[in-house]
Structure 1
Amino acid sequence: MTIIRFPVERRDHCASGATVEHPHHGLCEVLDILEDDPMRRLLYRLSDDAWVEADVRELEQVEEPVDEDIAAGLTDAFW
């Protein structure tokens, strides 16, 4: 198993729940970090509800992911 260490300033970059922009796919939401390749993300493309994969280096984070502590207090009415 390989351990990939991210610089401290990029550890939260493109975490699940973040809104990102991809040069070809446009605005997407990060769904998951792929287990077998931590540099790839499973994305939900907002323009047409498609799921795509992308390398984290191609993504620009637009909005931070919702903090889990805050999300735990949200109700379905919020969403």
Structure 2
Amino acid sequence: MKTMTVGDLKARFSEVIQEVKAGEEIAVTFGKKKEIVAYLVPKSTRKPAKRQLGLLKDKGNVLFTDDFKITEEEFLGL
């Protein structure tokens, strides 16, 4: 993994994006301590986050049958 400062990133942004698209991972550093503040990773290596259902998880279920129909008035509550 490459590291670069925010200034370097700003100066070579287009080149850096091409590198990321090619599969390179880049850490962006900031400040006198050169603390890592961000990571640029290719979209292909990112794992999709699992969606959390929260408090209602496993509390109910829904079944839609093939003959389920609703009119526009019923949908709109008219």
Range into which the TM-score falls when normalised by the shorter chain: under 0.3
Structure with greater Cα Rg:
2
TM-score by length of 2: 0.23
Question: Is the helix fraction higher in 1 or 2?
Answer: 2
TM-score by length of 1: 0.22
| Greater RCO (CA < 8 Å, at least 6 residues apart) | 1
Question: Is the strand fraction higher in 1 or 2?
Answer: 1
